[in-house]
Chain A
């Protein structure tokens, strides 16, 4: 039994399908991060984003609830705005226990590779700790840092750097089903 409409379910094992057709994940708009797992071989099943009008879909979470928070330069402190976003995430996640959660931490390119990996881990962890404090089960969550490996905006200006300094809550089917 699937908790998602069958037509919307796209499961890629270990990025294999993604390698054959990586573009399919790019089409998810803001939810593109959801495809990262498959595209780069996370070993986690990748799930279709669903219809953003379906309040139980990943697309809804990504676009309506907001799947990401941003950080100041070289910081991992959550801003009041980020806390509000994460509160919304926590609430939604508790109502949708069927999803497993990976929190990706990212840094902008103004830093060295190793340091940025460690900084991304701090950011992912800060978001995870906050979600735990809001009642999300720790066993549903893992963190990963991409450092500066996965920028989403590529200009050499603060406007782009600011988008890249992020923690993204990425969902996949798996937990609790």
Chain B
């Protein structure tokens, strides 16, 4: 029930630096994410050492989550333990670099897990094998239920050390869990770790729910529900799941909500008399402001990370295209220009790109473009790809892919903004409408 509360207590309560010396004169192992071609970096991770109170299994589980996070990016390749020459038997024993060099591991990760009365401590070190230098060493502590988060934090630290950019593993994804056939689909809100673990259901399936969105701190979720019989926006407090409908004007439909970067405003679509425009609302006070006023469809608004602009879709030109306007509304500039229809624009958390859904010649694509519409790049193609959501570091998007026809289920996929590393995110039910949280604290 109390998702984030549990997580907070299970979370990492202490972070301590164990060491972090980079030997001068050696080029540290480095992955440059903007490079057009990336050869996965070979790394070795020794099974973490179980120390006081921790089982070998618990230590191994932490090890495997870290390895899965890194290899899951497509940027790292694990050298299996069967190929290891050296055995790490103590966290503080000197590293036998030649043994790791011999198997061509560029990076070595070692660690230990201890458990004192339910308080779990995970510590790890990262080594540059060829320069013989320790790159990083950290320790995380929390409750034993928080072990996955500690593993994700360790993997984030390694990713960040090697790429020079922040990670995205210690994050959650809110999404719509789907059951039943296409013509009798039941939908529930659910939340999971970014890798599909720790699924929790937030609503039952009595009403259709659509397109949940995390607040900028991950403490609240906006979503659309048909609970009243009509689509309407609801705000859920993640801590205790308490939910309220946002204020509305009678006889209207509201949907497609998103938070402003300061979490105080919601921007959304409001339909009245068949016409859909974009509005914003002060969440605490309920005061509403109309941002577009056109007989066309204006929907799917998303703020720029500095809060000054809103990107949205409109069919005012005769077909769905992407526009940018001031957060106060007014004149809008069309930024999409290629063939086909463009929808569901989302501003990257880094501010540099806009991810979107494109429909052209009977196919759906997820793509990215710069905020002025230049350098459009399609990352995927399928019968139905839709609704990208950004990883907290702006390097990966998650979206839904649905198969054609009666048997076509929806599923979550992620892909790098380079178009590399397209893969399904495993979920226990069919799933749609993913929205990534920020990195957890």
A binds B: yes
Binding site for B on A (CB under 8 A): 15, 19, 37, 40-44, 74, 76, 109-115, 117-119, 121-122, 124-126, 128-129, 142-146, 149-156
CB contact under 8 A between A110 and B255, given known A44-B229, A115-B320, A151-B182: no
- Is A121 a contact partner of B359 (Cβ separation < 8 A)? no
Chain B residue with minimal CB distance to A160? B405
Residue numbers in A under 8 Å from B269 (CB-CB): 114, 117-118
- Is B405 a contact partner of A37 (Cβ separation < 8 A)? no
Chain A residue with minimal CB distance to B211? A113
Q: Can you name 13 A-B pairs with beta carbons within 8 Å? A: A40-B206, A44-B229, A111-B359, A112-B344, A112-B386, A115-B343, A117-B255, A119-B297, A128-B274, A144-B253, A145-B271, A152-B183, A154-B405
Chain B residue with minimal CB distance to A112? B343
Q: How far is the CA of A56 from the CA of B406 in the complex (A)?
A: 36
Chain A residue with minimal CB distance to B229? A42
Q: How far is the CA of A124 from the CA of B402 in the complex (A)?
A: 26
Q: A112-B320, A119-B297 are in contact. List 4 more A-B contacts (CB 8 A).
A: A41-B226, A110-B359, A111-B343, A117-B256
- Is B185 a contact partner of A112 (Cβ separation < 8 A)? no
Binding site for A on B (CB under 8 A): 181-183, 185, 206-208, 210-211, 226-231, 251, 253, 255-256, 269, 271, 273-276, 297, 299-300, 313, 315, 319-320, 341, 343-344, 357, 359, 383-384, 386-387, 402, 404-406, 408, 433
Q: How far is the CA of A43 from the CA of B313 in the complex (A)?
A: 31
Q: How far is the CA of A151 from the CA of B287 in the complex (A)?
A: 36
CB contact under 8 A between A114 and B299, given known A121-B271, A142-B251, A145-B271: yes
Residue numbers in A under 8 Å from B255 (CB-CB): 114, 117
- Is B183 a contact partner of A153 (Cβ separation < 8 A)? yes
Chain A residue with minimal CB distance to B277? A118
Q: Which residue of the partner chain, among B207, B229, B300, contacts A112 with CB atoms under 8 Å?
A: B300
Residue numbers in B under 8 Å from A142 (CB-CB): 230, 251
Chain A residue with minimal CB distance to B224? A117
Shortest distance from the beta carbon of A50 to any chain B beta carbon, whole Å:
22
- Is A15 a contact partner of B231 (Cβ separation < 8 A)? no
Residue numbers in B under 8 Å from A74 (CB-CB): 319
CB contact under 8 A between A121 and B253, given known A41-B206, A126-B274: yes
Residue numbers in A under 8 Å from B210 (CB-CB): 113, 149
Residue numbers in B under 8 Å from A151 (CB-CB): 182-183
- Is B406 a contact partner of A155 (Cβ separation < 8 A)? yes
Residue numbers in B under 8 Å from A115 (CB-CB): 297, 299-300, 313, 315, 320, 343
CB contact under 8 A between A143 and B274, given known A114-B299, A115-B297: yes
Residue numbers in B under 8 Å from A112 (CB-CB): 300, 313, 320, 343-344, 357, 359, 386-387
Residue numbers in B under 8 Å from A42 (CB-CB): 226, 228-230
- Is A122 a contact partner of B274 (Cβ separation < 8 A)? yes
Q: Which residue of the partner chain, among A15, A43, A114, A144, contacts B343 with CB atoms under 8 Å?
A: A114
- Is A19 a contact partner of B206 (Cβ separation < 8 A)? yes
Q: How far is the CA of A34 from the CA of B433 in the complex (A)?
A: 28
Q: How far is the CA of A153 from the CA of B229 in the complex (A)?
A: 22
Q: Which residue of the partner chain, among B228, B274, B402, B406, contacts A121 with CB atoms under 8 Å?
A: B274
Q: How far is the CA of A71 from the CA of B408 in the complex (A)?
A: 24
Shortest distance from the beta carbon of A155 to any chain B beta carbon, whole Å:
5
Residue numbers in B under 8 Å from A118 (CB-CB): 269, 271, 276, 297, 299
Shortest distance from the beta carbon of B369 to any chain A beta carbon, whole Å:
16
CB contact under 8 A between A125 and B273, given known A114-B299, A119-B297, A149-B208: yes
- Is A124 a contact partner of B274 (Cβ separation < 8 A)? yes
Q: How far is the CA of A40 from the CA of B210 in the complex (A)?
A: 14
Residue numbers in B under 8 Å from A119 (CB-CB): 297
Residue numbers in B under 8 Å from A154 (CB-CB): 181-183, 405-406
Residue numbers in A under 8 Å from B320 (CB-CB): 112, 115
Shortest distance from the beta carbon of A130 to any chain B beta carbon, whole Å:
12
Residue numbers in B under 8 Å from A40 (CB-CB): 206-208, 226, 229
Chain A residue with minimal CB distance to B271? A121
Residue numbers in A under 8 Å from B231 (CB-CB): 117, 144-145
CB contact under 8 A between A113 and B206, given known A43-B228, A121-B276, A153-B183: no
Shortest distance from the beta carbon of A48 to any chain B beta carbon, whole Å:
19
Residue numbers in A under 8 Å from B230 (CB-CB): 42, 142, 144
Residue numbers in A under 8 Å from B359 (CB-CB): 110-112
Q: How far is the CA of A40 from the CA of B231 in the complex (A)?
A: 12
Chain B residue with minimal CB distance to A152? B183
Q: Which residue of the partner chain, among B274, B276, B315, B408, contacts A156 with CB atoms under 8 Å?
A: B408
Residue numbers in B under 8 Å from A41 (CB-CB): 206-207, 226-227, 229
Chain A residue with minimal CB distance to B344? A112
- Is A156 a contact partner of B344 (Cβ separation < 8 A)? no
CB contact under 8 A between A109 and B229, given known A118-B276, A121-B274: no
